């Protein structure tokens, strides 16, 4: 059987209460102004995580052409999205924080501060020696802006897309079977236990934790790998309190980070591997599934604590929406990255706003 290929993190799912408003915020503040697709179809396949029935929704995949992963901004249209009953603590089970990359951290901090954004920490140093700061988006989702060295383009704004996230787990050693093995984050950047000054501004951030920051080597290959770039996943285990499940008593798609999604090739090989290693697919779409203007084969597994990991084998991506021109990925060499002209053509899907929050 042909092995699976992981091209990189495609996007992090963000549950919001107003998709258009939040897309404008990510576009004007953080430069993710490429609307790869907008999907207003009824969500059916995820019914088991949505109270057992389909729901109307709006989803926008927003990308940053400087490199990095995107945001799938997701909103219920037939019910009011629920916020967490209590503030999310560091170490709660699920995606705690999305990582956003910058090449000039002081410039990013100053720009966002002067724009009146919800910044909740000063610039701090992390255990790997890199600098970062924390802020919140309009729905109170927690973001970490961090120095990063992997870029597709350095034109214009100094900030790129996402490059990973912080995931709360109950047992890091058990979680590594998924994140290090199946997802191929095989490089341990640090594995430390203690109290961490860079977390102290966050809820429960003064507690004691084990933290493992994972990277990957070698560089990902094929497809959109050059645009998606290098990524990291940090697993965090709280050692002095009892974490909660972030989406306990709520639906997938409610306010918060709803999933981490990987762009992949060879779904059949991946489903077999996940099943053999104890992570069977909970949801698996048809082989050709329309996602607004895009098309692909996708599915979900759960990590040991129920955090949803999505995989998408992309088959069609809109290139120039007005002309209905698409990128057909079905017959391309899966090991060969898409040519730069094709990736750069996605700029034609840029959405411009009057609010110039990036200035």
Cis previous bond, 110, omega within 30: no
pLDDT for the residue numbered 359: 42
pLDDT, one tens digit per residue, over 206-216 is 999 999 999 99
Extents of the domains making up the chain: 7-349
Q: What contacts 276, CB < 8 A, 6 or more positions away?
A: none
142/140 Cα distance (integer angstroms): 6
pTM, two decimal places: 0.94
The 10s digit of each residue's pLDDT in 11-41 is 999 999 999 999 999 999 999 999 988 999 9
**Digit-coded pLDDT (tens) for 108-162:** 999 999 999 999 999 999 999 999 999 999 999 999 999 999 999 998 899 999 9
Query: Is the CATH code 3.10.180.10 the one for domain 7-349?
Result: yes
Contact 203, 88 (CB under 8 A): yes
User: Which of the four pLDDT bands, split at 50, 70 and 90, describes residue 45?
Assistant: very high
- pLDDT (0 to 100) of residue 151: 95
Q: What is the rounded distance in angstroms from the CA atom of residue 73 to the CA atom of residue 23?
A: 7
Cα dihedral 122, 126, 130, 134 sign: negative
């Amino acid at each position: 059987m042909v092995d699976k290929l992981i091209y990189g993190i495609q996007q992090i799912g963000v549950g919001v209460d107003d998709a258009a408003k939040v897309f404008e915020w990510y576009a004007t503040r953080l430069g993710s102004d490429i609307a790869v697709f907008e999907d207003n179809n009824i969500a059916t396949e995820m019914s088991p995580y949505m109270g057992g029935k389909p729901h109307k929704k709006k989803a926008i995949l927003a990308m940053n052409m400087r490199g990095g992963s995107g945001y799938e901004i997701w909103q219920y249209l037939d019910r009011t999205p629920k916020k967490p009953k209590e503030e999310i603590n560091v170490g709660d089970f699920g995606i705690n924080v999305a990582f956003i990359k910058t090449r000039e951290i002081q410039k990013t901090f100053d720009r966002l501060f002067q724009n009146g954004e919800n910044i909740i920490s000063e610039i701090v140093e992390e255990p790997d020696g890199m600098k970062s700061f924390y802020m919140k988006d309009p729905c109170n989702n927690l973001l970490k802006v961090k120095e990063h060295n992997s870029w597709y383009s350095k034109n214009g704004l100094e900030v790129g897309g996402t490059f990973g996230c912080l995931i709360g787990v109950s047992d890091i050693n058990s979680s590594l079977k998924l994140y290090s093995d199946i997802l191929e984050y095989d490089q341990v950047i640090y594995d430390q236990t203690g109290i961490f000054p860079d977390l102290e501004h966050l809820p429960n951030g003064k507690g004691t934790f084990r933290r493992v920051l994972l990277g990957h080597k070698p560089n990902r290959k094929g497809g959109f790998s050059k645009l998606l770039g290098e990524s990291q996943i940090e697993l965090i285990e709280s050692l002095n309190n009892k974490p909660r499940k972030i989406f306990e008593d709520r639906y997938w798609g409610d306010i918060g980070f709803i999933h981490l999604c990987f762009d992949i090739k060879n779904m059949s090989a991946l489903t077999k591997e996940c099943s053999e290693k104890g992570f069977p697919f909970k949801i698996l779409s048809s082989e050709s599934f329309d996602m607004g203007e895009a098309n692909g084969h996708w599915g979900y597994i759960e990590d040991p604590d129920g955090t949803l990991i999505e995989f998408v084998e992309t088959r069609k991506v809109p290139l120039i929406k007005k002309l209905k021109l698409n990128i057909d990925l079905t017959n391309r060499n899966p090991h060969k990255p898409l040519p730069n002209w094709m990736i750069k053509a996605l700029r034609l899907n840029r959405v411009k706003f009057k609010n110039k929050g990036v200035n």
